[in-house]
Chain A
Amino acid sequence: MHLAVSPGELILVTGASGCGKSTLALALAGLIPSRVQGQLRGRVIFDGRPLSGLAPHEAAQFVGLVFQNPNLQLINMTVQSEVAFGPENLALPQPEIAARVDWALQVTGMSGLREASVVTLSGGQKQRTAIAATLAMRPRLLVLDEPLSDLDPVGAQEVLGTLRRLAADEGTGVVVIEHRVDEVVPWADRIVLMHEGRIIFDRPPHGAWDDPSPWLATGVGIPDVVRLARAVPGAFANGAPLSVDEAVADLRGGWFEAALAHRAADRRAAADGAPGRGSSLPPVLSWQDVTVEFGGRAAVDGVSLDVDDADWVALIGANGSGKSTLVGLTVGLGKPAPGQVLFRGAPIRPGRVFEHAAHVALLLQAADEMLFAERVIAELEFGFKFRGRPKDPVLDVPGALEFFGLSGLEQASPWELSQGGRQRLALAALLVGAPGVLVLDEPTTGQDADHLRAFLTLLDRIRARTGLTVVIVTHDMRAVASRAARVVLLGDGKIRLDGSPSQVFAQTAELARWGILAPPLVRLQAALLGELDEVLLTVEAMVDAVLPYRPATLEAR
């Protein structure tokens, strides 16, 4: 491949999982072949000098790399020490180190936690610390491998804004490797699309989707505003917009805005009040006035929440809002004080994880850590060794193998499967038991659009086949908008909003207050029409809503 990065340029590199993006990052940072085995043909040149021949620490003075997993790249004890580590290695004078640390912490929003121990940080805070640690080295080229994967949407925009400023003000070249194309593209100068180790597309964002075939071929998601522009030709005067702001500027005062306003008025007339709980049956899961404290700070604060049978509930909230703590209680991880959690009316006893995991299947974010056997088939039967085969499993083992696309791989090692395959296996292993609820903690982190779509489709199929209740914790607002029946927003450990996705996402100001950025289509509606009671969530719904109002002249065209 040939790739050039100019000073002050922010480049988005994207592509399906396994297409070589992370390898590209390691090569750019001079870590191949010195630290990662492999053959490097060709050269990586920085400012006229070859990086490939330099020792990694020498290359690090020019190219900064933020690795993929924030858990593994924090090697010091406190946030401040972590950020100072790089400048200290460069043997800078103390005032310069202090200034860099202050600056890096400030631009990443970590100043308030500078003395905090890194083991106490949330995933998003760790990611910010890792970014700050690399920023503090002031590299002239900054490469970030999936820097947004653990960040909430507002946090992601803040980090991207910082990178943009860094490029514009300091002339730093920035390469962002990401699956979250929607969020990065408004900030990018160029988009590079990779497929099977090659660059198949490298151009400025405007017009990048004029021909959607490379995007469809690689399975990389097309931003919603672009899809909308393509679905309603003629609505956008300046071609496909890249951001909500651009879309608003194009649509303001036009027929599209009027059509949306008509539709909103129709919906208001038809509305018959906010829906209550749909079922008269007792809830399958119930949190009753639950509080959980860590070190005197309430991670969950007086939460009461009922989840009905066959419900599809999404828990959203900023990093550290208490989502994972709340779902952990459903299997006895953590102890509410006060309050209690009930499964079908029976209290969940803290610490009795083994007992409660039989009823509540919890898939951890780190699904790989849930695999223990040497063979796929043994993995599926792992649980039976300890609590016997259930009489009425959600799926039996042969059924699970077939359902999850693992047939023929019974004797394979779980580690021979792709990351998506391992996640499916961990999920299958939970469902060969007899759980009544499936709880998923950040299952879509770091997945490309194709894998995300496949995973969500899989969930749909599981629900269609088993009628299982699903509770999902996620930062992926598009996934929530497209699938969830109910959305619960947590902020500072309390429930802030609770309703259908179209109702909850309509509260854009309240969402932003609690660190959540509504999906682009929702922000578009809010920007055009102001605060609404309900919003349209998908491109398809929006197209259906506006097309009847399209002017005849455009129709004819």
Chain B
Amino acid sequence: MLSSLLARTVISYLLVFTVPLLLPLAFFKLVGLGGLRELVTYEAKDTPLHRLDPRLKVLYPVAMGILSILLTWSFMLIVFGLSLLPWFWLRPSRQRIRVLMVMVIGPALGGFWDQGMYYLPPPPIHFLYQFPWTISWMGSPGITTYGMIFGLEQSARVLVVISTSMLILVSTDVGDFTWAFERFGAPPAVGFALTAALRFLPEMISRTTLVLRAVELRGYDLSRPRWYQVTRWLDYVRRAARCAVVVTVPLLVGTLRGTATMAMVADARGFGTSRKRGSLRVHKLTPVDLGGYVVLVILVGGALILNHLHIGARYYG
């Protein structure tokens, strides 16, 4: 019976659409709009990671990104594992872990899934599940193991960069970033732009939350149906889309007014008075920092050497 055209069609549709439908569901259920704030909000703690030299922390995701580009899959697994280790050091809150897991694993799962369907090896192709002609409009003949592994590989490369960047964002005060950039010779405006951008996201989320709250108080129904109320989901999507139109203007107006005031505040606090700013922070290199620099140099240098020796190097062609 499972091999009948109808059954295979149903299974194929489920396989194709389950993941894309689960991802937004997981976002709404486990993250929500307010949860996005967790992605970039600094979490003040006294951990060894927090005490590391900010310059080292800025260099860390860059170095890991280089490794993820240079190395092959088996080496990548090691790099991926290494990139996860500092999270145990940091011990983020449960809420933050939940948000990070959804926001990091979600897109990775998506990549793994779509590559499984659309990245085809040279023939003969071994299908994990071959789709019937009834779903041929999707442009995929079926799910292949080869494609899924390729997707996993690509996702892991992206995950390394995302995971290390997130780690640094949540363990480093923006002021430390600014300090690090200035020590690298960047003008103060670069640090300020970074600060403003990172400050803008939570501000935008707060404002959006407030406006959405206000629109509901004015009678707009934004309540989400339960997962099994399939017929009501279409209406919900329609309502959400209309709501986006309703709230866009107040959001834009409010944001523009806000940024103008923020610029005046920067002026009023003397931003631009001097080409070189002072800093509240004092970072003296510790043995741990030095160890960190040495590890980064060894990792990147080692990868370059291995690459030159054609060991663990990716094949392009």
Residues of A bordering B, CB below 8 Å = 26, 29, 31, 35-36, 55-58, 60-61, 64-65, 67, 69, 71-78, 80-81, 84-94, 96-98, 101, 115-117, 119, 133-134, 137, 295, 331, 333, 351-355, 357-358, 361-362, 364, 366, 369-372, 382-387, 429-430, 433
Contacts and interface: CB of A to CB of B under 8 A. Distances in A.
Nearest to B41: A117
A35 B222 CA distance: 40
A94 B261 CA distance: 28
Contacts of A101: 280
Contact of A86 (B203, B263, B270): B270
Nearest to B179: A88
B280 A60 contact: no
Nearest to B203: A119
B174 A98 contact: no
A73 B265 contact: yes
A382 B195 CA distance: 38
B216 A353 contact: yes
A73 B216 CA distance: 28
B219 interface: yes
A96 B263 CA distance: 25
Output the residue of A31, A65, A69, A72 with the most chain B CB within 10 A: A72
Contacts of B258: 71-72
B34 to A, nearest CB: 10
Contact of B42 (A78, A91, A93): A78
Interface string B260-285: 01111111111111101111111000
B84 interface: no
Output the residue of A60, A77, A119 with the most chain B CB within 10 A: A77
B246 interface: yes
Interface of B: 37, 41-42, 44, 93, 173-175, 188, 195-196, 198-199, 202-203, 206, 210-211, 213-223, 246-247, 249-250, 254, 257-258, 261-274, 276-282
Contact of A370 (B42, B93, B218): B218
A61 B210 contact: no
Nearest to A328: B213
A61 B269 contact: no
B46 to A, nearest CB: 9
Contacts of B218: 357, 370, 372, 382-383, 429-430
B148 to A, nearest CB: 37
Nearest to A366: B210
A90 B174 contact: no
A57 B270 contact: yes
B174 A81 contact: yes
Contacts of A433: 219
Cβ-closest 6 pairs across A and B: A383-B219, A56-B267, A115-B44, A91-B274, A84-B280, A81-B175
A137 B270 contact: yes
A67 B277 contact: no
A137 B218 CA distance: 43
A75 B199 contact: yes
B211 A369 contact: yes
Contacts of B281: 94
Contacts of A134: 268-269
Given A60-B268, A89-B272, A354-B220, A77 B199 contact: yes
B42 to A, nearest CB: 5
B198 A67 contact: no
A424 to B, nearest CB: 15
Contacts of A71: 258
A31 B265 CA distance: 10
A137 B261 CA distance: 19
A331 B217 contact: yes
Contacts of B280: 80-81, 84, 87-88, 94, 97-98, 101
Given A352-B223, A387-B219, A56 B268 contact: yes
B229 to A, nearest CB: 14
B278 A353 contact: no
Contacts of B223: 351-355
Given A61-B273, A352-B223, A67 B265 contact: yes
A65 B269 CA distance: 8
